[in-house]
Chains A and B, each alone.
Chain A
């Protein structure tokens, strides 16, 4: 433990502390209504409870750092299985809130196992990929690792919690680092771009545009006398995907999911119904201006115009009260923290630690990207929290455990050897 104290990455801890502190201030401002008691630890308020979770997370941090770092690697499968059992158990013992059966309820408070499963899956993925004979370039091993993340995805989709399920796709960043063929990533990116293009421009224009691009590529390839088969096949695939977008959009997506795309694409969407959340969110952020309205002074916030403002939409409080300066500061804090995590991951000597580090990065990044993208109206509404900011004990503890296992592994990286 004393070894850990000296070797641990204090810069990460500093950034972590900043994020947690800024997060709590935002929750305090968001949920303070001016009528309740002034005590910060008043457990009938969100900010009081959140402060309690923060204090308890110090206990969890000490616990995580005290355990031998070897433990995480050795028991990763057990931890993984336990988390799957917890997810499965929701079907029988879970508590349903807002249509999602995602919580275990113990008297006064609830736990959300999906938040802890993130760390467990990251450990399991790291464990598998660090296996001596495992090579992610091989299809068989790809399939195995997809199953490792696939099971929790399915269990979470059953709750149903699409947003949390989506988080697990962030492991592709780790897979890519470990050698997953590039077409997974590029193919996914291309599919997303085509999907958006079709929604915005329609399938005819998009396919004509794609056709021109691939025609040019094939023309240059034929001059270089290289194989034409691959570009032709990819081109046909892309164009045929263009025509399946409408089917996907209309038949596969649920009506409420379609509406979430609709509000981004169509500016005339009714601001009172499906467009309400996004509209209120943009108004709150936009009204902050450059310097913000000042701490506790947000008017949109006081009117409770933004739904779920203390959880998924916590960033709107920052936008309204601290303006562009505050919002940019939060983004830069995340950039610094995420970069530091990447740096730590890359300096690990053991594959297990590195893969785990990339897993942590991926999970934090996708939360950051999706959450801020959503509240600023850049991507469709997907309900996942902003790490360290959004209200919720399970989320806070889940992220804390996730980060501090990495810090523990990093502190012991010399001792663990390669």
Chain B
């Protein structure tokens, strides 16, 4: 179980988590037995920007604050080639990051060669993270996964960035990866709860051979959040699985730490349901709400249009652009009917 509150959750917090909150939450997750915790800007190392949002503190400040407090848990960092570079990767290693997750759109694995090769050479736990996996069929995902494996990734993720996938699709994709990759290569699944499939999809992934499952306590993540980790842990407990995670402590973390710090309830509202339904990148949610408010265009329409244009992760700049296009259209329609 790999917690995302302090990375994917950064999206839901507009990247404004304080160092104290980071340390308190990470320490509590560590005490609850969560083995791996991700700490980075929502869009990965180097994500600090106008496009994705400037965080309260730098990646380096967060990592240096959290890592010394960890008793058992290890810390991971996310890196998207095109946004972050190998310099960021070296910085993360220097801070004591154990796991680096190199994320690309599911069809573009070959942009990760520089970063995966270096991470492996530096003997880091190296993960290839294929995003928006609903946009590509299983055999093609396998081909991309093999590229990452060939660069040196020891674990491959099937990432449902839009919260679009249903359990059958998760099972199919994970099975094809399991059969096609080296037996020693681990598999992971990262879900979003936009269609309330987080837990069901994660179970399907485990059944199909996944070794690592991402979630976040109280679902603190982009869109309607990630797979709620305390719920997933409780389900596994009931199924008789030994997870090493203390379900009651995890519930307390959610109730006492995560929920009180949320800026807004992370839940399946209309916009996040549209993300899942239309297959749109979950991190677009708050950006679309903001652009909608600024320009007087419904955020739901912006999200549907972003889906139509086949935008992918990282294209946050298209949100305001689409809002302005819709505004022009609205004005034209109003003008012609007047």
Do chains A and B stick together as partners?
A: no
A residues lining the B interface (CB < 8 Å): none
B residues lining the A interface (CB < 8 Å): none
